[in-house]
Amino acid sequence: MPKELFGPDFPFLSKEEILTNSEILEVAQVFARLGIEKIRLTGGEPLLRKDLVELVAGLSSIESVSDISLTTNGTLLPRYAKALKKAGLRRINVSLDGLDDATFKRMNGGRGSVRSVLEGIDAAVEAGFKIKVNMVAKKGVNDSEILPMVRYFKERGISLRFIEYMDVGNTNQWKLDEVVPAEDILDTIEKEFEFEPVDASYRGEVANRYRYSDSPVEFGIIKSITKPFCRDCNRARLSADGKIYTCLFASSGHDIRSILRSKDRAQRLSEEISNIWGRRTDRYSEERADSNTDSDKVEMSYIGG
């Protein structure tokens, strides 16, 4: 969240505009009845939600949901990791774009420290979580951190996942020539490590996975720019204020908060979610190269990854 845009005078949502835990659970239960088996909590920073542990416990009680995961910057994990594990959280993804503090701050707007993120990762490992670390690679900014990150997390048995720098939202001033293509990332890693591709675990898996030849540890690359995967996308995103987005690059969402707070919500909610999903035609990443016009897109800090 760029501090020049989200400063102390920014008009943040009021408490009444944000979905309650019971409302989120109601939506999750509808999605579960429609076939969703995995739920990811993301942000912004989800650990800033004071009742997050209670929300995880509620989600884990939904019988058909087999996996609940969390994407976080990691700094609050020493405080919450054990409670989240007890509540039923299965996996954690931690965002970390480099081990050098100055580079790290260039990527995240100058906040926090590498040390605090690594302490969070250690706390999550101690609590028994399976961890993935996400690194967005931006040319000329943190591409020199690729090999140091590989060395560090391979040694610790933690999966590292590289993400091509994406044009999500409108505040990151994205330029195509700042993208480090997946093939360049692979070439960099290959200078020091041997590896082989790993078959996808399921259709729609967004990361291409690889395993080091001398280790069971894996790393992955999300090729969202150089090899879009719109046709296999099966993800819906629910914002904190009750909008459903069917694409990470969407310009607007579908309001369901008004339905949640209506008297006849039970039937209408399931019908509306089914209709939203059935009508979706999102193919932004596949159409990006052919588009001659720019369009406003929802910010990553608003709907997560």
Distance, in Å, from the CA atom of 243 to the CA atom of 156, rounded to the nearest integer, reads 39
> What are the Cα distances from residue 226, in Å, to 13, 58, 193?
36, 38, 23
Is residue 110 over pLDDT 90?
Answer: no
195 and 139 in a common domain: yes
User: In this structure, is the dihedral angle defined by the CA atoms of residues 118, 120, 126 and 130, taken in order, positive or negative?
Assistant: negative
Closest CA to 84 of 100, 69, 94: 69
Closest CA to 252 of 294, 203, 302, 292: 302
Residue 10 DSSP SS3: coil
| Of residues 229 and 219, more confidently modeled | 219
Asked if residue 1 belongs to a domain, the reply is: no
126 and 256 in a common domain: no
Taking residues 41-49, report their average pLDDT. Answer: 91
Domain boundary (189, 209, 235) is at 235
Distance, in Å, from the CA atom of 217 to the CA atom of 211, rounded to the nearest integer, reads 6
Q: Please tell me the least confidently modeled range out of 2-16, 79-93, 225-239, 254-268.
A: 2-16
Name residue 132's beta-bridge partners.
Answer: 93, 159
34 and 166 in a common domain: yes
Give the CATH number of the domain where residue 32 resides: 3.20.20.70
Is residue 201 over pLDDT 70?
Answer: yes
295 and 208 in a common domain: no
Contact 150, 191 (CB under 8 A): no
Number of domains observed in the structure of the chain: 2
Contact 218, 198 (CB under 8 A): yes
Contact 225, 166 (CB under 8 A): yes
Give the DSSP H/E element, type plus range, for residue 190: helix 182-190
Asked if residue 55 belongs to a domain, the reply is: yes
Closest CA to 100 of 144, 131, 138: 144
Burial of 165 from C-beta contacts in 10 A (0-12 / 13-18 / 19+) = buried
* Residue 28 main-chain phi, psi, to 5 deg: -60, -40
Would you tell me how many other CB atoms lie within 10 Å of the CB of residue 33? 12
End-to-end CA distance of the chain: 13
240 and 228 in a common domain: no
Asked if residue 42 belongs to a domain, the reply is: yes
* pLDDT for residue 293: 46
Rounded percentage of the chain residues whose pLDDT exceeds 90: 65
* pLDDT for residue 133: 98
Rounded percentage of the chain residues whose pLDDT exceeds 70: 85
Domain that holds residue 68: 20-235
pLDDT by residue (tens digit) across 262-301?
Answer: 988 878 999 999 999 888 877 666 666 555 445 665 665 6
Taking residues 234-253, report their average pLDDT. Answer: 87
Tokens of 68: 């609940």
Is residue 302 over pLDDT 70?
Answer: no
Asked if residue 273 belongs to a domain, the reply is: yes
* pLDDT for residue 257: 96
pLDDT by residue (tens digit) across 157-182?
Answer: 999 999 998 766 455 556 777 899 99
* pLDDT for residue 76: 97
* pLDDT for residue 291: 55
Domain boundary (235, 270, 297) is at 235
* pLDDT for residue 285: 65
Tokens of 114: 């590498």
Distance, in Å, from the CA atom of 127 to the CA atom of 139, rounded to the nearest integer, reads 35
